[in-house]
Amino acid sequence: MIPKEKELKLIKIYMYICDIYESSLKFCCQRFSNNATPIFTDQELLTVYLFCGAYQRYFSIKEIHTFTKEYLLSWFPCLPSYQTFNYRLNLLSEAINELVKHLITSFKPEDCDNMTSLIDSMPIVTCKGKNKTGKVATEIATKGYCSTKNMYYFGLKLHTLAFRRKGTIPFPEMLILSSAAENDLTVLKTEAADSLANRSIFADKIYSDFSFWGEKQREIGLDMLTPVKAIKAEEPVITQREKAHRDLFSTAVSKVRQPIESFFNWLNEKTNIQRAMKVRSTSGLLIHTMGKIAIAFIYLIF
């Protein structure tokens, strides 16, 4: 048995999943076979996964299945075997992506600053080490380097563009997955830059590109603010003259963008999303990443 308070959370999550499943999720996981309506439904599967992650802090599929079998069987009497449970969950990666989109668009806090955004990325690690070669999810995962942690790793990057919120962690507007080898600036230019009109974005030095962002500022009113990057072959006298101004500007930008780091710390603390060492497939890696994000926001919302 679980406490009454958690039972109410379980019911809320199930009712929410049923509603959103009928309106959108079912179109991402439709079946065209004789098993189109399984006894243990997709709604129940997603509810179990989200509840155990958000309120029991079980993140491995084996732990989730074991807990459900021991304590939630009266709620889910048709629970399948662990192998079937794991296989069914891996088929729901697109549905979980759609669920995350719904969570961040439908539950946007009122105190979000629509004119100010923060952006950064964090590594999702399947294995790490300078000489390690990853053998998992090679279709989407590659080798990369994280300068913040001074770490070579194999896996993905989670790029987050978030609305600034005064006095608290930002709320994501856009989440993008890329391979670890892709440059953060390139991802932003190709995936999102054209849709970010009339706002200021605070970012790290890696996003510096004066000519590109200068053009975007004239075209769509997008102002990219980053700490000042050293200019190659600049005259020492100019560097010395501009040092105080550049240091003050860089400190101000870094102070504004710091909460995006807090967001990543919060996400990792709630879900352990960065550690994907036990993932064994591409679909499993997608479930690990987007599923953990869904778990974090289910916890935040409910």
Whether 206 is covered by a domain: the verdict is yes
Q: Are residues 44 and 171 in the same domain?
A: no
Q: Are residues 71 and 189 in the same domain?
A: no
Domain count of the fold of the chain: 2
Domain containing 233: what range?
111-277
Q: Is the pTM of this model over 0.95?
A: no
pLDDT digits (tens, 9 = 90+) for 214-225: 999 999 999 999
Whether 55 is covered by a domain: the verdict is yes
Q: Are residues 83 and 115 in the same domain?
A: no
Q: Are residues 47 and 132 in the same domain?
A: no
Question: What is the pLDDT at residue 207?
Answer: 94
> Strand pairing of 171-179 and 151-165?
antiparallel
Q: Are residues 121 and 78 in the same domain?
A: no
Question: What is the pLDDT at residue 298?
Answer: 94
Integer Cα distance of 27 and 24 in angstroms:
6
Nearest to 61 by CA among 38, 84, 41: 84
Q: Are residues 116 and 222 in the same domain?
A: yes
Residue 272 φ/ψ region, left for φ over 0, alpha for ψ in the -120 to 50 degree band, beta for the rest: left
Question: What is the pLDDT at residue 78?
Answer: 95
Whether 104 is covered by a domain: the verdict is no
Whether 237 is covered by a domain: the verdict is yes
Q: Are residues 138 and 258 in the same domain?
A: yes
Question: What is the pLDDT at residue 91?
Answer: 92
Q: Are residues 206 and 245 in the same domain?
A: yes
Whether 286 is covered by a domain: the verdict is no
Question: What is the pLDDT at residue 131?
Answer: 65
Whether 102 is covered by a domain: the verdict is no
Q: What is the 3-state secondary structure (H, E, C) of the chain?
A: CCCHHHHHHHHHHHHHHHHHHHHCHHHHCCCCCCCCCCCCCHHHHHHHHHHHHHHCCCCCHHHHHHHHHHHCCCCCCCCCCHHHHHHHHHCCHHHHHHHHHHHHHHCCCCCEEEEEEEEEEEEEEEEECCCCCCCCCCCCCEEEEECCCCEEEEEEEEEEEEEEECCCCCEEEEEEEEECCCCHHHHHHHHCHHHCCCEEEECCHHHCCHHHHHHHHHHHCEEEECCCCCCCCCCHHHHHHHHHHHHHHHHHHHHHHHHHHHHHHHHHHHHCCCECCCCCCHHHHHHHHHHHHHHHHHHHHC
Question: What is the pLDDT at residue 102?
Answer: 95
Q: Are residues 128 and 46 in the same domain?
A: no
Q: Are residues 33 and 116 in the same domain?
A: no
- Please identify every stretch of the chain with a pLDDT value under 50, giving residue numbers as ranges: none
Strand partners, 175: 160
Whether 233 is covered by a domain: the verdict is yes
Q: Are residues 71 and 155 in the same domain?
A: no
Question: What is the pLDDT at residue 234?
Answer: 72
Whether 186 is covered by a domain: the verdict is yes
Burial of 266 (0-12, 13-18, 19+ CB in 10 A): middle
pLDDT digits (tens, 9 = 90+) for 32-63: 777 778 899 999 999 999 999 999 999 999 99
